[in-house]
């Protein structure tokens, strides 16, 4: 898996010809060239070296967990018997042979073919459009992204051929990588998976975008930073299945103590899954360091990027849903102009309907 991901993010061959497709004849106003990346355009800014305090991070994590589980009453601080049983099951899962990797959906079958087309020096737009048309999820995502704020040129994009022209190679690379890791939520899924998995994915995507943009400015491997942000919640997503199996009709789930323990197991599972899939050690280390940040603030380069990307993406979500204010000095203290600009650009990107984004069916 890692091999095709690195190929996705490798530099494109030099002097690649412009995309030509039948749609180009009817869309005269489209400039056939790679657009700006879908990630917030922060590459020309210097990323600040300010570090977050444990108190700041704990506050954002607490508010995000409360939003994630829809918990408003925190009178029950400690775990109840149902939560203890869930944590015991997760402890066994972390220690299991496959460590949860078997519970994660593999990439769609059309992605290897798309990868080959994207790396071709001929980059046939019509061929790529034909391949994308074979996967309904990709069709929906390509049209959604082409019509998003980042790529919109003032006209609606309704055809796959036109969307391929608008997105270009960079946009398609990012989209394909995200689709490969996105969990598919079924109407047969348990209530926690249906409700929480889209929220976790929302934060994962935004963390990946911010992390990738910040890494590019600092000459850090952009793929490693992007992957760390994208998969850091994969262990939590797997955990939702366990919660669904053990919490139906039982005591409520979401106490602060439970959420803290769940985050720890989630990171362990994410590291185990990344190791099972032979991800770079820098990605695994970065995720693991988020757990030890309070005890050892000396983070690796990717770990530092991930810490800020995670923090800013959670701030963005909490502000969108009225949980915090951008003027809250408790969460913005220490953030320099560049970090605040990153947060502003995240806030400028639109969110789509969760059901359509997650492929609920």
- What is residue 265's predicted lDDT score, i.e. its pLDDT? 94
Q: Could you tell me if residue 174 is inside a domain?
A: yes
Q: Do 118 and 173 contact (CB within 8 A), yes or no?
A: yes
* Per-residue pLDDT at 355: 47
Task: Collapse the DSSP code of 252 into the 3-class scheme (helix H, G, I; strand E, B; otherwise coil) and give the result.
Answer: coil
Question: Once rounded to an integer, what is the mean pLDDT over residues 155-182?
Answer: 78
Residue 226: the pLDDT is 86
- Name which residue leads in pLDDT, 185 or 13: 185
Domain that holds residue 125: 1-36+107-182
pLDDT, position 36:
39
Q: Is residue 101 part of a domain?
A: yes
User: Is residue 356 domain-shared with residue 268, that is, in the same domain?
Assistant: yes
Is 44 among the domain residues?
Answer: no
Does 169 fall in a domain?
Answer: yes
Cβ 258 vs Cβ 251: under 8 Å: no
Q: What is the mean pLDDT of residues 70-97?
A: 88
Which residue, 182, 199, 219, sits at the end of a domain?
A: 182
pLDDT: is 188 or 191 the higher one?
191
Identify whether residues 89 and 120 lie together within a single domain: no
Band (244; pLDDT cuts 50, 70, 90): very high
Residue 43 counted as domain residue: no
Tell whether the model's pLDDT for residue 90 goes beyond 60: yes
Shared domain check, 122 and 222:
no
If one compares 71 and 26, the residue with the highest pLDDT of the two is 71
Q: What is the mean pLDDT of the chain?
A: 76
CB 190 within 8 A of CB 243: yes
Q: Which residue has the tokens 């080959």?
A: 116
Boundary of a domain, candidates 137, 166, 182: 182
Nearest one of 315, 294, 313, 293 to 304, comparing CA atoms = 293
Number of domains in the chain: 2
Rg (CA), the chain: 21
Q: Are residues 225 and 275 in the same domain?
A: yes
| Residue predicted with more confidence, 112 or 161 | 161
The tens digit of pLDDT for each residue in 315-345 reads 999 999 999 987 888 898 888 877 887 788 8
User: Do residues 167 and 156 share a domain?
Assistant: yes
Task: Report the pLDDT value the prediction gives residue 217, as an integer from 0 to 100.
Answer: 76
Is residue 128 domain-shared with residue 8, that is, in the same domain? yes
Which residue, among 169, 178, 153, 120, has the nearest Cα to 27 in the 3D structure? Answer: 153
Q: Name the domain boundary from 182, 216, 236.
A: 182
Same-domain status, 88 and 111: no
**200 and 306 in a common domain:** yes
The CATH number that applies at residue 143 is: 1.10.3210.10
157 occurs within a structural domain: yes
Q: Please indicate, yes or no, whether residues 112 and 88 belong to a single structural domain of this protein.
A: no
- Does position 133 have pLDDT exceeding 90, yes or no? no
Q: What is the pLDDT of residues 42-70, one digit of tens each?
A: 433 334 444 678 889 889 999 999 999 99
pLDDT of 306 reads: 95
Q: What does the pLDDT read at residue 29?
A: 37
Q: Note the pLDDT of residue 307.
A: 92
236 shares a domain with 169: no
Residue (of 62, 104, 76, 52) closest to 236 by Cα position: 104
* pLDDT attached to residue 119: 62
Q: How confident is the model at residue 1 (pLDDT cuts 50, 70, 90)?
A: low
The arithmetic mean of pLDDT across residues 254-259, rounded, is 93
207 and 168 co-located in one domain: no
How far is Cα 302 from Cα 300, in angstroms, rounded to an integer? 6
Q: What is the mean pLDDT of residues 97-116?
A: 63
Return the sign of the alpha-carbon dihedral for residues 155, 206, 219, 223: negative
Residue 314 counted as domain residue: yes
Task: Identify the pLDDT of residue 15.
Answer: 38
Which position has the higher pLDDT, 313 or 189?
A: 313
Is residue 41 a part of any domain in this protein? Answer: no
Higher pLDDT, 40 or 57: 57
The pLDDT score that the predictor gives to residue 122 is 67
Q: What is the CATH number of the domain that holds 308?
A: 1.10.3210
Most confident option among 121-130, 177-186, 219-228: 219-228
State whether 342 and 216 are in the same domain: yes
Per-residue pLDDT at 289 = 93
In the predicted model, is pLDDT for residue 210 greater than 80?
yes
């Amino acid at each position: 898996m890692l091999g095709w991901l690195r190929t996705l993010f490798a530099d494109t061959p030099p002097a690649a010809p412009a995309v030509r497709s039948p749609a180009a004849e009817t869309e005269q106003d489209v400039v056939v060239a790679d657009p700006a990346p879908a990630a917030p355009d922060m590459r020309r800014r210097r990323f600040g070296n300010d570090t977050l305090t444990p108190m700041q991070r704990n506050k954002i994590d607490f508010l995000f967990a409360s939003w994630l589980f829809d918990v408003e009453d925190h009178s029950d601080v400690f775990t109840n018997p149902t939560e203890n049983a869930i944590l015991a099951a997760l402890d066994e899962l972390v220690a299991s042979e496959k460590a949860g990797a078997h519970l994660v959906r593999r990439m769609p079958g059309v992605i290897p073919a798309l990868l080959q087309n994207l790396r071709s020096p001929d980059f046939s737009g019509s061929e790529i459009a034909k391949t994308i048309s074979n996967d309904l999820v990709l069709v929906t995502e390509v049209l959604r992204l082409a019509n998003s704020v980042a790529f919109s040129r003032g006209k609606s994009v309704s055809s796959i051929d036109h969307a391929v022209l608008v997105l270009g190679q960079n946009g398609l690379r990012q989209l394909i990588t995200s689709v490969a890791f996105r969990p598919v939520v079924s109407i047969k899924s348990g209530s926690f998976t249906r409700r929480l998995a889209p929220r976790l994915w929302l934060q994962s995507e935004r963390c990946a975008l911010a992390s990738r943009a910040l890494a590019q400015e600092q000459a850090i491997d952009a793929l490693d930073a992007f992957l760390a942000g994208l998969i850091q919640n994969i262990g939590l997503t797997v955990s939702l299945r366990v919660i669904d199996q053990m919490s139906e009709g039982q005591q409520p789930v979401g106490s602060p103590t439970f959420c803290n323990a769940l985050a720890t197991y989630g990171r362990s599972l994410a590291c185990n899954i990344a190791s099972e899939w032979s991800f770079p050690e820098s990605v695994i280390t970065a995720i693991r360091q988020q757990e030890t940040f309070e005890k050892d603030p000396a983070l690796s380069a990717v770990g530092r990027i991930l810490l800020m990307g995670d923090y800013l993406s959670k701030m963005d979500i909490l502000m969108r849903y009225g949980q915090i204010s951008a003027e809250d000095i408790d969460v913005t203290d220490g953030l320099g102009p560049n970090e605040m600009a990153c947060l502003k650009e995240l806030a400028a990107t639109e969110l789509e309907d969760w059901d359509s984004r997650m492929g609920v069916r």
